[in-house]
Amino acid sequence: MTQSEQGEAAISCTGVVKRYGAVEALKGVDLSVRPGEIFGLIGANGAGKSTLIKLLVGTARATAGSVRVLGMDPLRQAGQVRSQAGYMPQAPALYEDLSPRDNVRFFGGAHGVPDLTQRTEEVINFVNLRGRADDAVFGFSGGMKQRVSLACALVHRPQVLLLDEPTAGVDPKLREAFWQHFRDLATAGTTLLVSTHLMDEALFCDRVAVMRDGAVLVSDSPKALLRRGRTRVSVWCGDERQSETLADYPSELPGLLRRRGLEDSVTRIELDEDTLETVVLELINEREAVHA
């Protein structure tokens, strides 16, 4: 990554290594997130996503490499970075004997939010907890705690949002609402770095980095990643099926149909595209075959 690219990026990591004793949690991570972008960190548990986010919020120190948030060092310029960054950790990290309203007001108060009462109600409404705003968090389900945690991360209107598995345990309807809100925030200029282990959530992101064993396997837009996949075309002539695999079906399908002449006997054409998960699995297999 060039210096100018690093300067323009809302978030940048260059050659980031993090070791915990003998364990290398991050093995030279490079990535750059543009302002106003939703960037997904995709990977299984233990891939290094949470460690990377901890470095970005300044609760962990990189063993080697450089980390920048809005062009600033999260450790040396902790005060400035933290006032402009919102962080939602993987664990709810809430005061469970207090209510969602108390939790949001506490973290919002730390940032000196000027219209704290109004803003607290806004974020409580957004996470759909108005009816439970004064109940102790203790009795809440995992998904409800996630919603309170997200409200705490949003309360001070941060410029950069670092969300570690924000939709874990959240029902599909609310998950859709979360992503819609993330999109609205990005449109308004907020930069979002969202980690998830759910491949289908990558499709909500502008770009993603697929992480495995502390390294970035690939970083691209979800569409570009999907283009790496293949499509199996099955042409049915009555009960007889003929299948062919195409690398780029939008450009190759017309040729296939021309070759077949699209006879009257063709009764059905099925397209079976690789999912993002299959594409990523292929990438992992390719990488492991190279290293084997």
Partner 1 sequence: MLRRTVLVALRALRQLRHDHRFLALSLVAPVLVIYLLKLFFDSVENPVFKPQQFVVPVGAFIVHFLTYVLCMIVLVRERTAQTLARMFVNGFRRSEIIGGYLLAYSTLATAQSLLVLVELNWLFDLAFDTSRFVSMYLVMWLLATISMALGIFVSNFALNEGQIFPFIPLVTLPSIFLSGVVVSVEKLPEWAQLLGRLTPLFYANRMVQALLAGGGLSDDWGSLAALPVYGGVVLLLATLTLREVD
Name the residues that contact partner 1, by CB under 8 A.
20, 54, 57-61, 75, 79, 82-83, 85, 87, 89, 91, 93-98, 102, 106-107, 109-112, 136, 152, 156
Minimum separation from the CB atom of position 84 to partner 1 (A): 10
CB of 128 to partner 1, least distance (A): 22
Report how far residue 206's alpha carbon sits from residue 220's, in angstroms, rounded to the nearest whole number.
9
Whose Cβ is closer to partner 1: residue 82's or residue 132's?
82
CA nearest neighbour of 102 among 137, 75, 58, 56: 137
Q: Considering the complex, state which of residue 110 and residue 247 has its C-beta at the smaller distance from partner 1.
A: 110
By C-beta, is 83 or 267 nearer to partner 1? 83
**49 burial class (0-12, 13-18, 19+ CB within 10 angstroms)?**
buried
Which of 110, 271 has the CB closer to partner 1? 110
Q: What angle do CA 214, 216, 222 make, to 5 degrees?
A: 135
Q: How far is the CB of 150 from partner 1 (least distance, A)?
A: 13
**Smallest distance from the beta carbon of 93 to partner 1, in angstroms?**
4
- Which of 23, 25, 3, 22 lies closest to 12, judged by CA? 3
In Å, how far from its chain's centre is CA 32?
Answer: 14
> Which of 215, 213, 209 is closest to 196 using CA atoms?
209
* Closer Cβ to partner 1, 109 or 254, answer by number: 109
- Nearest approach, Cβ of residue 139 and partner 1 (Å): 12
Query: At 198, phi and psi to the nearest 5?
Result: -95, 115
